[in-house]
Amino acid sequence: MSEIGKVRLRLPASIKPGDVVRVRCLVIHPMERIERDNQGKIIDKKYNYIDKVTVTYRGKTVATFDTTQSVSENPFFAFSVKATEPGKLTVTFHDTHGDTYEGSADIAFS
């Protein structure tokens, strides 16, 4: 569990101006799911799962994803971003305990 919050990003090896870049990212997180008792009532507990993912490119938010506890442990996300200029791409994961985990990569043209 010591790796909780570790974020890995993967970008294509070669990016040209105007390319639509497929970004793949993974965060190490337990993604505790909500459990119910035999009567169907939610067991009272402060469950810990990623509930929001924010993507910024060159300091501007380009995507936000709201998630639920149904996402699997160590969730993997893939999305596309149009590479208009060189700059930093950052993916931030927020969980229900108020923690944030961040990974970033530089988009550079080759």
DSSP letter string, the chain: -TTTT-EEEE--S---TT-EEEEEEEE----PPP-B-TTSPBP------EEEEEEEETTEEEEEEE--TTSPSS-EEEEEEE--SSEEEEEEEEETTS-EEEEEEEE---
Q: Is residue 37 part of a domain?
A: no
pTM for this predicted structure: 0.87
CATH code (residue 25): 2.60.40.10
**pLDDT tens by residue, 42-95:** 888 788 899 999 999 999 999 999 998 888 899 999 999 999 999 999 999 999
Q: Is residue 42 part of a domain?
A: no
Provide the domain count of the chain.
1
Q: Is residue 90 part of a domain?
A: yes
Domain range spanning residue 27? Answer: 7-31+48-107
**pLDDT tens by residue, 12-37:** 999 999 999 999 999 999 998 777 88
